[in-house]
Amino acid sequence: MVQKSQDDNRRIWSRVEQLSRAAIRITAERDLERLLQHVADSARDVIGSKYAALAILAPKGMGVSSFVASGITPELHEEIGSPPLGKGVLGLLISDPRPLRIADLSQHPAAAGFPPNHPPMKSFLGVPILGRDHPIGHLYLTEKADSAEFTDEDEAVAVMLAGHAAVAVENARVHEQEAHLLQELKGMQQSRDRFYAMINHELRNALTATYGWADLWLRKAGDEAPREAVEVYESAEQTLTLLEDLLQLSRLDADKLHPVVQDADAQDVVRDAVRSVEPAATRKNVVIETTGIDGEILCRTDPHRVRQILINLLTNAVRHSPEGESISVDVRLDDQSMRFDVIDQGDGISAEDQAAIFEAFEQGREQKERGTGLGLALSRQLARLLGGDLGVESRLGYGARFILRLPRFTSDS
């Protein structure tokens, strides 16, 4: 009796080890077909049967969407033909999802027989694979090795394997869905990028001529330029800027825009940005002042992107400032960081709208005159691309302060 008890203990521990290894293999697999084969093979090995099979039910109806077998050669599988349809004894597991043990399949009243070339099978053990809300398949084994029929212990092991299989199958399905959605998303991004590139190219070609002629008209007319010429020039300039913003936002979303880091003088970058915006400010009788640090500010960054952000902020400030008011660009720094504050004396921005203005195509309910809703979204993304950030401090009736924070020395990587 002692020897028998020891043998039983060794057998049980051996099964536990086999079950643990099988569970690890099953939960690690993400490909659904390989996962199903792992389950069927593991069940046959751990429980000890000549054959095992696993069927996954179709999402709708009573059909079988996936079926794998273990213990049958590919050649025999081909001779047998189509997988079972879930009728006969297998249909019992679908209609009544509980473990089912049968000593002799041929004697069961629900038996429907086997197709031609199918090997004989007598003892049977079937267990449902239960998903979160409903059965998603079933695992069954036939021809118990070294015994006339399957035992309670076999059934318990099969139920545990079916539980591991249920979790793994649902995870594999989620993984497949995520992969499919990711592929669709990449396709949509590629289509969007092609669309933006085409629109940018075609509209830019059409607008460049308009912009060029309007610019020539303004240069020749000088201070006597008609308002119509100014409006054509400004509209063409704004549209070209919008096209460029759209293209750059698309490249940022696709992770295709990278900073070009180099040594620079931050004061030169600020002066260049101010000079670019001064014509629009002059037409509105708005003065742009620079305060803060005097002299050279050595830094390592992407000066083109910093200039682009400052131009966006200054253009916004000019558009929003009343005639005759002033705009300040305040520059501060320490050993590790730089800060650029662009301050206007306009109507200000409500707390509710301050988050919205940094979203693409969003301007806030009180900020419709601030433009297309792309400039600030692009500026914040560019700031973050450079390792910094862009924020705003404002109250209605008290103007707005846009704060650009950047590392003073950005690495090339």
* Degrees, nearest 5: CA angle 99-104-109: 80
User: Measured on CA atoms in the order 208, 214, 216, 218, is the torsion positive or negative?
Assistant: negative
* pLDDT tens digits, one per residue of 339-393: 999 999 999 998 888 878 888 655 554 444 444 457 888 889 899 989 999 999 9
Distance CA 67, CA 57 (A): 9
* Residues paired with residue 68 on neighbouring β-strands, in sequence order: 54
Give the tens place of pLDDT for each residue, 13-41: 556 556 556 555 666 566 777 878 888 88
> What digits encode the pLDDT tens for the residues 160-192?
888 887 887 777 777 777 778 778 877 776 776
Q: What is the average pLDDT across 238-256?
A: 68
Confidence at 44, pLDDT banded by 50, 70, 90: confident
- Name the amino acid, one letter, at 320: H
Top-level CATH class of 258-407? Answer: alpha beta
Residue pointed to by tokens 């429980």: 47
Highest mean predicted confidence (pLDDT) among 46-60, 73-87, 168-182, 394-408: 394-408
Is the model more confident about 183 or about 332? 332
Contact between 345 and 324 (Cβ < 8 Å)? no
Q: Is 326 helix (H, G, I), strand (E, B) or coil?
A: strand
Q: Residue 267 has what pLDDT?
A: 94
In contact, 340 and 272? CB cutoff 8 Å: no
- Domain residue limits, the chain: 2-179, 258-407
CA dihedral (386, 339, 361, 352) positive or negative: positive
On whether the 2-179 domain is CATH 3.30.450.40, my answer is yes
Of the CA atoms within 13 Å of residue 268, those in its CB half-sphere come to: 11
Give me the amino acid identity at 292: G
Q: What's the sign of the alpha-carbon dihedral 16, 18, 24, 26?
A: negative
